Amino acid sequence: MPSTSTNPSRIDYTYSEEWRRICEATSTLKTSLQQRRKYLDLVEKHRGIVARQELEAEIVKQFNILKGKKDE
């Protein structure tokens, strides 16, 4: 369960799976397209197709956030 910070309306997700996925997606997004494709292939090989699809979806979500678009 996420811990609450000093502000009770803010939840700290630093140690959650959600936070890990966001960090992985933003880190992957900073690489070239060729490197992203290789990385996603490795994710699929080691963690499975579902993990790859989840990461791809998070990458798209983070890309849209960076570009100022709403979730689609």
Domain span at residue 72 reads 32-72
Q: Which two tokens stand for residue 44?
A: 């699929």
- Confidence class for position 8, pLDDT limits 50, 70, 90: very low
Confirm whether 38 is domain-assigned: yes
Confirm whether 39 is domain-assigned: yes
Confirm whether 67 is domain-assigned: yes
The C-alpha torsion from 17 through 72 and 64 to 11, rounded to 10°, is -40
Strands 11-12, 3-4: pairing kind: antiparallel
DSSP string computed for 10-22: -EE-TTSHHHHHH
The C-alpha torsion from 38 through 49 and 53 to 21, rounded to 10°, is -80
Confirm whether 58 is domain-assigned: yes
Confirm whether 9 is domain-assigned: no
Confirm whether 20 is domain-assigned: no
Q: What is the mean pLDDT of the chain?
A: 84
pLDDT at 12 over 90: no
Each residue's pLDDT tens digit, 15-60: 788 889 999 999 999 999 999 999 999 999 999 999 999 999 999 9
